Amino acid sequence: MTSAPLHPLDQALQLEPAGEHRSRGHTSQAYWNMIGPFGGATAAVMLSAALRHPERLGDPSALTVNFAGPIAEGAFEVVARPSRTNRSTQHWHLELLQNGEITTTGSAVFAVRRDTWRCGEATMPAVPAADALPQMGGFAPVKWLGSYDMRAVRGAKPTTEPGTEHPDSLTQFWLRDQPPRTPDYAAMAAWCDAFYPRIFLKRAGFVPAGTVSLTTYFHADAATLAALGHRHVLGSAQARVFRQGFFDQTAEIWSPDGDLLASSHQIVYYKE
């Protein structure tokens, strides 16, 4: 019997043991950006190393990834080492190395989730359903955009009108993996970085920019993610301030049922 081919994301997340707390992987052309891997894919790989670790406790609660240097096409190693394990939380140290040099650092917090009182103050934006919107075409010469089915609500494509400036930097679109894939925490980590830099929209043009540090918070358990099946999720992202070569970028991922699944915050550098 011939086994089904791996989904491109699962191929990108393939890791082989390479010693204590170490795994070996390879960059994926399906998630290639301009000059290196799509940052969301890198975050997903680092999280995946901890998810597969035999000492892992619970599910991800928070993930921070710091992009210290470029990653070239080819092999890399990921270090995922539990720093401290408590009764219901576990703290992780993460590194991605290439040719013996650190390119990416990070940390993660895992937790054992339990049923408690719950309340949500955040409200899902009122938007048209995913099925009512056409699939968005690519707008930049990067391969990773082809790994997603995006359906634009607003601000999904940056315009290039010299001398203009948008009143805000808000982008909203429906999103799922392409081809469709039942989501998990690794996919969620990548989704939270599936927004182009907010300065492209605000300044109506492309400028050199790149994420320095990205923190993602996971608000749903594994069963909730699995229940999404092949449905789209709603992504929303906006900046708060652009100043002295850096800006922030806040993102939210919502289920079609109105549950906040994840939120993230990143700091991005830019050059004029």
> Residue 168, CB half-sphere, CA atoms under 13 Å: how many?
10
Name the amino acid, one letter, at 133: L
Residue 31, SS3 per DSSP: helix
Q: Is 171 exposed, middle or buried (0-12, 13-18, 19+ CB in 10 A)?
A: buried
Total-model pTM: 0.95
- Interval 167-208: pLDDT, tens: 899 999 999 999 999 999 999 999 999 999 999 999 888 889
Structural domains of the chain, ranges and CATH numbers in brackets: 8-112+132-270 (2.40.160.210)
> Residue 6, CB half-sphere, CA atoms under 13 Å: how many?
9
Q: Across residues 101-111, what is the average pLDDT? A: 98
